[in-house]
Amino acid sequence: MKDNTSDKFLHRVATDLLDRFGNDLQHVAIVFNNKRPQLFLKKYLAEISGKPIWSPHFFTIQQFFAESSSLVCASQLKQFFVLLSEYNTLLAEEGKEPVSADVFYPLAEIIVSDFSQIDYYMADPDKVFNLIGNIAELEQQFPNFDKEQLEFMESFWASFSQVKQSSIQEKFIEMWHRMPRLYINFHKRLAEQNLISSARMYRNLAEARDSNSDFLKNYKHVVFAGFNALSKAEEILFKSWQDQGLCSFYFDADEHYFADPIQEAGHFIRRNIKTVGLENQFKIQENRIDIPEKQFTIIQALGKVAQGKILNQVLQGNEDKNEPDSKAIILADESLLLPVLQTVDDESLNVTMGYPFEQSAVFGLCDLWLSIQEEIATADQASIAYSHVLTYIFNPLVGIEEQTRNRIHSEIIDEKKARFSLLELRSSGKISELTFSPFESPVQVIRNLGSLLLFVSEQIADLRKLESLLIAEAVKTLNVLSDSFEDLAQNSSMPEINARFVLKMIRRALAGLSVPFDGEPLLGLQVMGLLESRCLDFDELIVLGMNEGVLPKISITPSFIPDNVRRAFGLPVLENQNSIFAYFFYRLLHCAKKITLVYNGITDEKSTGEESRFIKQLEFETSCKFLHVLQQNQPVEIAFQQEIIIEKNGQVLERLQKYLHRNALEKYDKKISASGFTDYISCPLKFFYGKIAGLKEPNDLPDQIGPHAVGNMLHAVMEHFYRDSIGKEVNAAYIRQREKLLPAMCQHAMATILKLDPKSELQQQSALQQIISKVIEQYALKILEHDASIAPFVIKELEEKDAYTPLFTIEVNGKEEHVRLMGIIDRVDTQEGKIRIVDYKTGKDQVKFKDFDSLFIEEGKDQNKALLQTIFYTIVYEKAKNVEQVEPHLYTVKDFSDGTLFLKKNKVDNLVLRDENLADFKDQFEIKLKEKLNELFDTSIPFRQTSNVDACKYCNFKGICQR
């Protein structure tokens, strides 16, 4: 294809402007929808003229219309407070309670948006908000409505014509009734303060009131370029000015969609020219879209981020061009900017979009600060939860001293400190002082955040340039917000503002910020959003985010004005939005020779996984070339998992041998516990990590109560309950009598295990702690219910620490050695002449087991760890006390239906572990115990991972093993 620079819209505009106005161009005003086309038009004017010329005046449409009024456009915050004041005045007249700022704000956004559309589209608010259900009344009130408009109105209000409305309908009608007066009072109050809304400015100009329509005479001529959808006010003004010869129009359109009356992309251009009567300075271009040589490549990417990553492939082999109109990356989904920046070399990009503040580390700090302030403002005490403190001390922008950070972290993890006083936190530095100060006033809290950001920018030596720019932009925005609140504070009629609303406004103001990138705007590969691409043409296009629901968008602005009423009064509806986005997309295709369209093919909560309907339309409407790449496979390196093997030599062997008994060093012997033994059975590597390497299990956070903590609490409660009964006979009456003490015992156990200080005002029980306390109480009651059913019995010992540590003979490398076994047994009692080992379990453990061999099969799913541990305790106790016939009993607090003695699952054998069956089982267990301990100390057998992946699900070391 030949070079088509001369066909590009702005190049044609520049040529025509020079032909029409020549040396008078400096007296011409050129108005665009946005600023970006101004740079390109200046470039073309300079190239075509070939000599220095005076530049015309450039405006955006908002800037241009602002010249028509002496009134100042009110800020969003000012409009909100005026609307709130007037709304509460109406409520007071109705005898209703006023609404607070934070409650009203979401409603206010919708109301202001509705009022703006009423003004932009010149609708009568009294008629829009008129409650009419009868068709005769409709015909009388709206004589200019056609049949379709009347049907729209009647169909909506028919649902409200019933004698009895629902409560939602009644509230809607109440709100609807207030709207006409609220509209009038809102604009009247703004005008009294020499303020106006942007939409009202348009309306006043169109109605020739309270505005200066002579402002156009400041210029020899006004040119409106690249406009598409116009509001009713703009239509009236543009037609009037055109008739007076004050302005002219350049519409960018193509025959492909202009000539087809049902093609949505041409809807507004057709309306502007054929219905409104605006004259296009250009003839509609012949069809430049339906060209057989035009190439479309449709790529389905596997995920949202993958759309950005695909650019490495799409851009590969393309020569770099410095011409700004040669190639562009268009982001239909602007959230794809970061994946693009992370994929393509920054030096080759010219990003015309701003970097979103919301996706920066600086916003992360601001968001944390706001969350902390919200908690401080809503809490009933001068303290804050550990979760915010933990996040705060590890934020890299805060710069907390390492010693202070470690101390606070230790208090949270080791001491289970759940809350911190604001006073103690403020003492850890200037940033902390600004963060943990209580809310005083809107202005003060905004200034505190601004001071904090400035302090961060001074304190962090290696702060990146972008982060410095983000901080500067944030501080500027905060200053404007602070000034707005300060002005409002001088208004005595302003309602009281609570902290929650102020913090919400700060977050909202910061979330919408963006910082422009540095660089030469007319060089390199252009990256821009769809709105920024208006009026611009490129030889090659790469459009990311070509998903249905993104292009066109399916979301609409919330409104109190129903769709039927909107249609009746010509207010915007969803079809208008579809037409606007269709035009944005189709006009990009005017001059492009090569187009790559990329969409996310994965369906999830944020994506339909469907390509945009515009792609299917193009295939149907045109004879262009289409290549579909169904899958965009990112290169994936498969890392084959390698088995972790720890040989028993060197330091590993040295630590392992500390478990072997040595007379001279007996007091230093390490002991084999029941949990250590079961760890080795299930996974030798787990034993290594926990017992040889000494890795500790992660502690629960203060508000986390894991299964281990629940078990410890129950053990503590049961020990407390029977502590005074050691050596005595316990009967059912005694148990029933002491049951009333359980709530206090549970509270005490929780305070002990979680290291709570019941006297501290900061340590109030959370809802979770109260629930867990009740759960522990119910568990204890189940145990006591069973105990009462088997009473009487005598408690012999409870939770004796290191009381049972007998020596056990093993064989190491052909030599006899000894290891010391250890068991901390929950309870030892005697019942009907039998000594019983009682082990409490709060998990899914059960008394049934498959068979003896299954207990020691590493790959099996039938390991009964509770049986292994309880038998281990029994062997240890018998050897330590030199007794026999001790019975192991398992108290599974969730279910006592199978009793407390272990039994085989196979009912045919009816094998219950007691008496002779138990004796045989113990003999087999001792043999297997010795065999496994011999294996543990065998230097030729390394520590290996288990092959049973199911055993890894709840292992504390699974992250290390990468299982």
The arithmetic mean of pLDDT across residues 471-492, rounded, is 83
Please name the helix (run of DSSP H) or strand (run of DSSP E) that holds residue 6, with its range, or none.
none
Query: Which residues of 17-107 form beta strands (DSSP E)?
Result: 28-32, 57-60, 72-73
- Higher pLDDT pick, 69 / 393: 393
The arithmetic mean of pLDDT across residues 45-70, rounded, is 89
- pLDDT band with cut points at 50, 70 and 90 for residue 155: low
In the chain, % of residues over pLDDT 70: 88
**SS3 of residue 535 by DSSP:** coil
The arithmetic mean of pLDDT across residues 401-413, rounded, is 88
The two structure tokens encoding residue 486: 């300060």
pLDDT over threshold 50, residue 1:
no
Of 29-38, 692-701, 931-940, give the lowest mean pLDDT range.
692-701
The arithmetic mean of pLDDT across residues 921-946, rounded, is 92
The side-by-side arrangement of strands in the sheet containing 827-831 is 729-730, 793-798, 827-831, 834-841, 887-892
- Higher pLDDT pick, 212 / 644: 644
DSSP letter for each residue of 150-184: HHHHHHHHGGG-SSS--HHHHHHHHHHHHHHHHHH
pLDDT over threshold 60, residue 148:
yes
- Alpha carbon separation from 795 to 167, 730, 776 (Å, rounded): 65, 7, 21
Please name the helix (run of DSSP H) or strand (run of DSSP E) that holds residue 798, with its range, or none.
strand 793-798
- Higher pLDDT pick, 518 / 747: 747
pLDDT over threshold 70, residue 933:
yes
Can you say how many angstroms the Cα of residue 559 is from the centroid of all Cα atoms in its chain? 26
Write the pLDDT tens digit of every residue in 424-433.
Answer: 898 888 889 9
Task: Give the long-range contacts of residues 761-764, CB within 8 A, separation 24 or more.
Answer: 761/381, 761/383, 762/381, 762/383, 762/418, 762/419, 762/420, 762/421, 763/418, 763/419
Check residue 282 and give its pLDDT: 93
Write the pLDDT tens digit of every residue in 765-783.
Answer: 667 788 888 999 999 999 9
Check residue 163 and give its pLDDT: 45
- Higher pLDDT pick, 282 / 150: 282
The arithmetic mean of pLDDT across residues 532-543, rounded, is 92
The two structure tokens encoding residue 81: 């407070």
Q: Are the beta carbons of 96 and 103 closer than 8 angstroms?
A: no
- Alpha carbon separation from 560 to 107, 118, 342 (Å, rounded): 9, 12, 42
- Alpha carbon separation from 498 to 99, 103, 111 (Å, rounded): 12, 11, 22
Check residue 135 and give its pLDDT: 46
Of 185-199, 203-217, 314-328, 384-398, give the lowest mean pLDDT range.
314-328
pLDDT over threshold 90, residue 726:
yes
Write the pLDDT tens digit of every residue in 101-121.
Answer: 888 888 999 999 999 999 999
pLDDT over threshold 90, residue 618:
yes
Q: What is the biggest distance separating any 2 CA atoms in the chain, rounded to whole angstroms?
A: 118
- Alpha carbon separation from 697 to 674, 683, 690, 700 (Å, rounded): 17, 16, 8, 9
Measured distance CA(685)–CA(681) in Å, rounded: 10
Of 100-109, 215-224, 321-330, 790-799, give the lowest mean pLDDT range.
321-330
